[in-house]
Structure 1
Amino acid sequence: MEAPHNLSAEAGVLGAILYDNAAFYRVRDVLHGECFYSLAHRAVWEAIETHIREGRVADGVTLREWFEGESRLKEIGGAAYLGDLLDQCAFGPEIIDYAGMVASLWKRRSLASLGGELSKAAMNSGDPDKLLGEHEAALEELQKHSGAVVETHDAGASLLMALESQKDRASRFVKMGLPSLDRKLGGLMKGAIHVLAARPSMGKTTLATVIGHEMAEAGAPVGFFSLEMPRESLATRKACYEAWKRGRRIRYFDVEQNQARPEDLEFLAGGVDALSAKRFMIDDRMGLCPQQMAAAIRSMNMRSKRAGHGPLQVIFVDHIGHLKPDEGRRNRYEDTGNVSKALLEIAKRFDLAVVVMVQLNRASQAEKRKPLLHDLRNSGEIEEDAHSVIFLHREDYYLERAQSEGTPEEQADASRKLTAVRGQAEIIIAKNRNGPVGTELFTHSMDNNVIRERGNVERAA
């Protein structure tokens, strides 16, 4: 069976450009050389493109001279064929229709070819996830050429396009639901990595579940890869945060240790937002590699679309130290760098924001200072790859430890200082490619899995 094509449409487009080179600019965004089924047509398109991009006229005379100089005139059927193309020239709006037809037929041929390759490879490959990942890039390349040909006739149309472009840029960011952070960051940019880093026990997972919950509640589908905490524990934390928002303080470790009051358990069960829960999907498998994560994202996207919510807008990875590289392990620095690059590729491939949790080393914890960008130096190239870097710091954590473990003098000093900072969390925006950096003060109730804007944490009695 012959591959789908339309030689008349191809000739009509080429003839129109030879007649008036301005027509090239009307179709250049939707066509490229491979779109042409005829090898002669492909050669003529490439010659036209070369001439116009170099500022030269591309018509029957100049192309004949060029093909003769390249000893390729016979390849296109001789000088007479250039005249035939002019005879088949498409006029007016027809060139738009013809160009769309040529591009559509190329996509059909490409899909058929890709399907054949995929079918053949599937019979011989032992790893379907790897196979999907390898062929996904080819599908994405086809999607890049899926835009329609658009004509603008006046300044008003250009202005409308500019306004649409601004709307599109705004849609590139997913609001976090924490106004002070959204004002500085604009939200989490899709197609990018965002680092959420802290020392152990600071509350990284708490902050991530709060942001994820707010996003899901606002309508953005969220995927959460919990690589060290079981999904039941993560769901419990999220439920306790929901309970706090509805006015009830329930400690998540009471629930996990079967010490919660029956009325609290009933309150938790009755308050689960079914729609929000469906938009917040958890994968708690350990030892994943980025390729397996990509396969999981595809599955989550299908589930989310079936539920009418659209594809994922953001994923959380808790945390990067538990991800395996796609290839064999080398050393921790190289492994983390390779994983970071793979996560950036996932962000771009699926057009979503990737929030990567990073646990800072315990050596820096002994200093009890606020974290800095250079604390990420042992985490591969993730700081370089990241669009934004956020640190979470709680001074009260160190003071509470000093109050119970320090010398009598240290205990007394910690007690005095603790009064001023108890329940306070600092979220430090250390890197922001879109705008300002700086520190925002939040309040927290870690027992209830809550980190909120200052003044809001006392909502529940």
Structure 2
Amino acid sequence: MRQFSLADQFRDEARERAVLSAIAHDAQLYWRLIDSLPPGVFVDEAAAWKALSEAVEGERPPVDAVPGYWSASDDPVGDAEKLADLYQRRLLAEAQERLAEALHDEGVPARELAGRLEEEAARAQQAIRELSSGRLQLASDLVRGVLADARERYEARKDTGKPVMGIRTGIAKLDEITGGMEEGLYLLAAGPSFGKTTLATQVSQAAARQGVPVVYATFENGPANLVTKMVCAGAGTNSRDLRRGYADPDRLARAAAELEPVLRRIALVEGTARLTVAEVRARALQMMNRFGTDRCLVVVDYLQLWAKASAELRGMVSARERTEALAAELRGLATRLKSPVLAIVSQNRDKGDYGTNGKSAPTLDSLKESGDLEYAADVVMFVHRAQDRTAMEPARAVDLTVAKNRNGELGKAELIFRADLGVMREETARGAMAP
């Protein structure tokens, strides 16, 4: 006779089948639900989940991975969350069973039971945390990968004769300073109207031109507005002229056609109160799978607006706490995706560039109002008015200063910002914009 198990009370075969069937009929659900469905969630249909995962990630039709008579869930997101909750309850039930066994074991002194209780609680908590933080890895297990990466970079440098770089930003001096964008959190800070979004969209397009998919979460501009800005910049047209009906539609159409291969690699996610870092990760994994890449670029425009709007963070008292927590999550996202995350941030009014009237370059202190962001970031960059250069209106001379670089040098790139055309380019020796 089978022995009773408390953990078995927290399994739901019908719900497992319903979720699997829903994914089999809509493969896009896999990328939405993957964070809610870590290993161990499917206990009755583990083999079907494995087959389904392999089919979706291998871009094969997933419908054959599950029996056709299974009914699909009407609420796969909700059911996936319930399955994850059941999994966590199984972990706790197993801990309780082990503790109960010790409680009835006369060979275990009572004084040891309190210690056992703490150990079991810690074990269960750690297992639950690892659902979202990824599996534990020993440093020694990573050596082979580190050496393989070093050899791959060495051979690439020998073949091309050029240094191996991360994702290039389209700004040569910035890439020279940082080595391109690698895995990590990059903060781009500036005062109002200094071209933060302009620069972020340019970097996004530069990444897409290199075959790197981009997920751009936008809280300040609507997705259509961002596309308008990019097309107008490509056409050399003021977006205000488009809104007023003065822009040449044929010129815009030509620019859009030239940009089409780039824009198809840029996924725009409209920021809402319900958007979570887990959802952004799912979009990024989906794009990486679609284009067959092992990295992507995630852009957040911008950090404080997301922190303020996020329903997930409303339990925190202050905006500072929410911003710090979100920055930490984004750094974790970069680690899990092994990709760069570029987050736009605002500066303090009393310490940012627009608080000093351009008399000095901004410092890391200008981020303090929003928490200790500089500690979470791998790279911190500021766009600010140039200290020793001017430009003829409507152009503006600005500097892009790298104030923190965990992996390399500090420095600045001298740029010219044309707010009217929505472009920011490096300044040439004669003071013009580089092409």
Tell me the residue number matched to 2:240: 253
Selected match of 2:327 from 302, 324, 340: 340
Counterpart residue type for residue 151 of structure 2: L
Question: May I ask how many residue pairs the two structures share in their alignment?
Answer: 313
Instruction: Tell me if the contact between 1:233 and 1:256 (Cα under 8 Å) persists in the aligned partners.
Output: no
1:380 correspondence with 2:371: yes
Selected match of 2:398 from 408, 421, 425: 425
Selected match of 2:43 from 113, 116, 119: 116
Tell me the residue number matched to 1:353: 340
1:362 correspondence with 2:345: no
User: Cα distance 1:125–1:237, how it changes in 2: closer, same or farther (>3 A)?
Assistant: closer
1:14-413 pair list within 5 angstroms: 113-116=40-43, 126=78, 128=80, 137-138=130-131, 141=134, 163-164=151-152, 173-190=166-183, 192-243=184-235, 249-274=236-261, 276-289=262-275, 292-306=276-290, 308-310=291-293, 312-324=295-307, 326-327=312-313, 328-364=315-351, 365-369=354-358, 370-394=361-385
* Counterparts of 2:377 and 2:143, CA distance in 1: 34
* Counterparts of 2:228 and 2:173, CA distance in 1: 26
Cα shift at 1:221: 0.9
Instruction: Tell me if the contact between 1:228 and 1:286 (Cα under 8 Å) persists in the aligned partners.
Output: no
User: Cα distance 1:255–1:297, how it changes in 2: closer, same or farther (>3 A)?
Assistant: farther
User: Cα distance 1:220–1:446, how it changes in 2: closer, same or farther (>3 A)?
Assistant: same
Could you tell me the TM-score, scaled by structure 1's length?
A: 0.58
Could you tell me the TM-score, scaled by structure 2's length?
A: 0.61
Instruction: Tell me if the contact between 2:391 and 2:397 (Cα under 8 Å) persists in the aligned partners.
Output: no
Counterpart residue type for residue 229 of structure 1: N
Q: Secondary structure at the match of 1:264?
A: helix
Instruction: Tell me if the contact between 1:226 and 1:317 (Cα under 8 Å) persists in the aligned partners.
Output: yes
Selected match of 2:413 from 429, 440, 461: 440
Counterpart residue type for residue 206 of structure 2: E
Tell me the residue number matched to 2:20: none
* Counterparts of 2:191 and 2:295, CA distance in 1: 28
Cα shift at 1:257: 4.0
Instruction: Tell me if the contact between 2:395 and 2:419 (Cα under 8 Å) persists in the aligned partners.
Output: no
Cα shift at 1:264: 2.6
Counterpart residue type for residue 394 of structure 1: R
Counterpart residue type for residue 374 of structure 2: E
Instruction: Tell me if the contact between 1:391 and 1:427 (Cα under 8 Å) persists in the aligned partners.
Output: yes
Cα shift at 1:251: 1.2
| Structure 1 unaligned regions, length at least 5 | 1-109, 152-157, 244-248, 397-415
Instruction: Tell me if the contact between 1:226 and 1:282 (Cα under 8 Å) persists in the aligned partners.
Output: yes
Tell me the residue number matched to 2:21: none
Cα shift at 1:128: 4.9
Q: Secondary structure at the match of 2:379?
A: strand
Tell me the residue number matched to 2:427: 454
Cα shift at 1:366: 3.5
Tell me the residue number matched to 2:64: none
Which digits, 9 at most, give the CA deviation of each residue in 1:222-254, with x for residues without a partner?
A: 1111111001111112223333xxxxx211222
Larger Rg: 1
* Counterparts of 2:319 and 2:331, CA distance in 1: 18
Instruction: Tell me if the contact between 1:225 and 1:317 (Cα under 8 Å) persists in the aligned partners.
Output: yes
Q: Secondary structure at the match of 1:358?
A: strand
* Counterparts of 2:175 and 2:83, CA distance in 1: 38
Cα shift at 1:431: 0.7
Instruction: Tell me if the contact between 1:387 and 1:433 (Cα under 8 Å) persists in the aligned partners.
Output: yes
Q: Secondary structure at the match of 2:382?
A: strand
* Counterparts of 2:149 and 2:224, CA distance in 1: 47
* Counterparts of 2:244 and 2:393, CA distance in 1: 32
Tell me the residue number matched to 2:33: none
Cα shift at 1:168: 9.9
* Counterparts of 1:355 and 1:129, CA distance in 2: 29
* Counterparts of 1:258 and 1:418, CA distance in 2: 29
Counterpart residue type for residue 367 of structure 1: T
Counterpart residue type for residue 280 of structure 2: A
Which digits, 9 at most, give the CA deviation of each residue in 1:304-341, with x for residues without a partner?
A: 423x3425521110111111353413101111111111
Counterpart residue type for residue 377 of structure 2: A
* Counterparts of 1:420 and 1:242, CA distance in 2: 20
User: Cα distance 1:430–1:420, how it changes in 2: closer, same or farther (>3 A)?
Assistant: farther
Cα shift at 1:209: 0.7
Cα shift at 1:130: 9.9
RMSD: 4.2
Percent sequence identity is 25
* Counterparts of 2:213 and 2:182, CA distance in 1: 15
